[in-house]
């Protein structure tokens, strides 16, 4: 779906703040953050280390991951920073938002990253890889953080007032396709639902989770559409392209989800007038010729991979990482994340706050048990 057809994404035409030859980020390091807190829900595209101590194949706290990250391997599925790391810098945070697994003290008032590799909207998604933190469980953890914040701020009302000003990023659903629907050797969903029916199933569960987040005080929520999963090196290696550059039936399937997600965003904005929901069109951002942005390799990853498409531990990756679109068989390089973050930051209004009736939300957000 073209961006010009989207009525409620608050598109702003601003020049991209990327210096192509150095991929340096343009932001003022000493500026006050544009939002006081940033909470992140999602999968391996945003995971900051939550899977490190879980029993799963979907963890990457070893070299060569993190080869370009200041702290080395942290559990990020990238050679360097993820898109949300860079967005946090754009928003004025001096450090990346900490993973839930390592969150502590009053720093949680600036946000927490709950994202988990292989996780999705459906509880079962990705479980053939081992344990993960589904979106449902990420919300459960968020409720725990809310309770801790209420203790820190001295009251539930004060915590809600603070959380009311935060930015919430929800980017999930890719694994429901890659590690569920298109993995029939482990899951039966593709025999139970056609692509449109499966997208409907996902969106209905997604709607429930987003309403839960809203009841916890979220009034500024970015809902991230799914990217072109049929163009990853893993998809190209496992599925026939029939002469296309990508696996078209996979990309077509996620477009059903994206169209329904955009409809959901419109409905939420219509029904919840004291909140703002933004659809992030990553599918549209992922189109075009990668060579036009200076990339030379897009059909294989930069590092040698194992049988689950992740970098082989300690194996030497490519040296010219800025030439590659993909780091491993699924995840983009920091160079791509730089461009993606810049486009998102400059195209969408991520900093406005929408105050809510605090008294109305306190009971809902703090006392309502998550199912």
Write out the catalytic residue numbers: 44, 328, 331
C-alpha closest to that of 138 among 43, 257, 277, 221? 43
Q: What is the DSSP string of 11-46?
A: -------EETTTTEE---TTSPPSSS-EEEEESTTT
In whole angstroms, give the CA distance from residue 179 to residue 291. 29
- Residues 6+ away with beta carbon under 8 Å from 40: 46, 48, 84, 97, 111, 112, 113, 114, 115, 168, 169, 171
In whole angstroms, give the CA distance from residue 70 to residue 54. 24
250 neighbors 183 (Cβ within 8 angstroms): no
Alpha helix locations (H) across the chain? 83-90, 135-153, 156-163, 174-176, 189-192, 195-215, 233-238, 248-271, 282-285, 334-347, 358-367
329 neighbors 310 (Cβ within 8 angstroms): yes
205 is written with which tokens?
């569960």
Query: How many other CB atoms sit within 10 Å of the CB of residue 140?
Result: 16
Residue entry with tokens 């006081």: 36
Which helix or strand (DSSP H or E) is residue 170 part of?
strand 167-171
Alpha carbon separation from 201 to 51, 57, 181, 260 (Å, rounded)? 26, 27, 12, 11
Find the angle CA(333)-CA(68)-CA(304) to the nearest 5 degrees.
55
Alpha carbon separation from 154 to 148, 161, 162 (Å, rounded)? 10, 12, 12
In whole angstroms, give the CA distance from residue 216 to residue 146. 8
In whole angstroms, give the CA distance from residue 79 to residue 62. 11
In whole angstroms, give the CA distance from residue 113 to residue 269. 25
């Amino acid at each position: 779906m073209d961006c010009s057809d989207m009525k409620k994404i608050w598109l702003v035409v601003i020049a991209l703040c990327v210096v192509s030859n150095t991929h340096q980020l343009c932001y003022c390091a000493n500026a006050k953050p544009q939002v006081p807190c940033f909470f992140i829900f999602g999968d391996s595209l945003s995971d900051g280390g939550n899977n490190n101590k879980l029993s799963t194949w979907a963890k990457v706290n070893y070299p060569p991951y993190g080869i370009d990250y200041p702290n080395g391997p942290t559990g990020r599925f990238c050679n360097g920073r993820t898109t949300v790391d860079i967005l946090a810098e754009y928003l004025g945070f001096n450090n990346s938002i900490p993973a839930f697994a390592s969150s502590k003290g009053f720093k949680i008032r600036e946000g927490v990253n709950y994202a988990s590799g292989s996780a999705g909207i459906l509880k079962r998604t990705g479980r053939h890889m081992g344990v993960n933190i589904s979106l449902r469980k990420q919300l459960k953890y968020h409720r725990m953080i809310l309770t801790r914040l209420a203790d820190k701020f001295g009251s539930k009302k004060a915590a809600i007032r603070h959380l009311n000003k935060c930015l919430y990023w929800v980017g999930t659903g890719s694994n429901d396709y890659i590690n569920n629907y298109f993995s029939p050797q482990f899951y039966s969903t593709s025999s139970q639902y056609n692509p449109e029916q499966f997208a409907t199933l996902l969106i209905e569960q997604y709607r429930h989770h987003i309403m839960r987040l809203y009841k916890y005080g979220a009034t500024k929520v970015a809902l991230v559409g799914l990217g072109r999963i049929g163009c990853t090196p893993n998809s190209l290696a496992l599925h026939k392209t029939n002469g296309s550059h990508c696996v078209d039936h996979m990309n077509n399937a996620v477009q059903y989800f994206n169209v329904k997600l955009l409809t959901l965003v419109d409905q939420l904005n219509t029904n919840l007038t004291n909140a703002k929901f933004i659809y992030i069109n990553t599918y549209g951002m992922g189109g075009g010729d990668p060579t036009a942005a200076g990339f030379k390799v897009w059909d294989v990853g930069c590092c040698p991979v194992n049988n689950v498409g992740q970098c082989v531990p300690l194996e030497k990756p490519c040296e010219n990482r800025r030439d590659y679109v993909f780091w491993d068989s699924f995840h983009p390089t920091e160079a791509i994340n730089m461009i993606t973050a810049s486009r998102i930051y400059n195209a969408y209004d991520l900093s406005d706050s929408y105050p809510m009736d605090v008294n109305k939300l306190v009971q809902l957000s703090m006392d309502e048990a998550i199912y």
